[in-house]
Amino acid sequence: MRQLPTARSNNGIGGEIRGIFGLMAMFIAALWVIEFVDVSIFHGGLDRLGILPRTGSGLLGILAAPFLHGGWDHLAGNTIGILLLGGLTMAIGRREFITVTLAGALVGGLGTWLFGRYSVHIGASGLVFAYLGYLLLRGWYDRRFGSIALALGVGWFYGGMVFGMIPGITPSHISWEGHLFGFIGGVVAARLLRQRR
């Protein structure tokens, strides 16, 4: 006997998609609300809670830094990266998005804390580079056609971002360390989440 799809099963798929992109919307909304509070109430003072390498207070910045930005332009640029690369990661799955985000924040933050220049490092660009690293290396670890095709497409459109991880090429006011270690966090996540046939 054949079972026909029901409205409930269709809603289940739609509900999953809404849940996935609802999580993305909440994450981005949180970034904008925090920046609004920082600019309007603290006049940028929250930015001091970022990663200050090799200091005790800088350890707290590992968790705080992705939510702090040096102005609206900085936040807008990272929002676009999160929407595009984070959106591609989230389209693969909620577990993947959460894992890559956590790996990018922790590996990127700790690497910056250990090896970064003595300056306050803030911004979600480390997460953007984590999504980039994950999407590029996922094909290598999975060895599946879809993963490889996605990696090639991401490399074609966003491959130039890798220059943002190179000291001397990256402008001095931009944390290439956060970009580099965030990227490494994405690679670590790709290794952890591999589904090789």
| Domain, as residue range, for 26 | 7-192
The predicted structure's pLDDT at residue 9: 46
Closest alpha carbon to 125 in 108, 107, 102: 108
Q: Can you tell me the distance from the alpha carbon of 144 to that of 101, in angstroms, rounded to the nearest whole number?
A: 23
Partner residues linked to 170 by β-bridges: 167
Q: Which residues contact 77 (CB under 8 A, 6 or more apart)?
A: 125
pTM: 0.89
Q: How many residues does the chain have?
A: 197
> Does residue 27 fall inside a structural domain?
yes
Residue identified by tokens 């965030």 is 182
Domains held by the chain: number:
1
CATH number at residue 21: 1.20.1540.10
> Does residue 2 fall inside a structural domain?
no
Half-sphere CA count of 23, side-chain side, radius 13 A: 17
The predicted structure's pLDDT at residue 3: 40
pLDDT tens series, the chain, 197 aa: 444 344 444 455 566 667 777 888 899 999 999 999 999 999 999 999 999 999 999 999 999 999 999 999 999 999 999 999 999 999 888 889 999 999 999 999 999 999 999 999 999 999 999 999 999 999 899 888 988 999 999 999 999 999 999 998 989 899 999 999 999 999 999 999 986 54
Decide if 133 contacts 192 (C-beta within 8 A).
Answer: no
> Does residue 197 fall inside a structural domain?
no
The predicted structure's pLDDT at residue 11: 56
Is 85 buried (19+), middle (13-18) or exposed (0-12) by CB count in 10 A? buried
Q: Which two tokens stand for residue 27?
A: 């994450």
> Does residue 60 fall inside a structural domain?
yes
Residue identified by tokens 């966090």 is 185
Residue identified by tokens 């332009």 is 73
> Does residue 44 fall inside a structural domain?
yes
> Does residue 1 fall inside a structural domain?
no
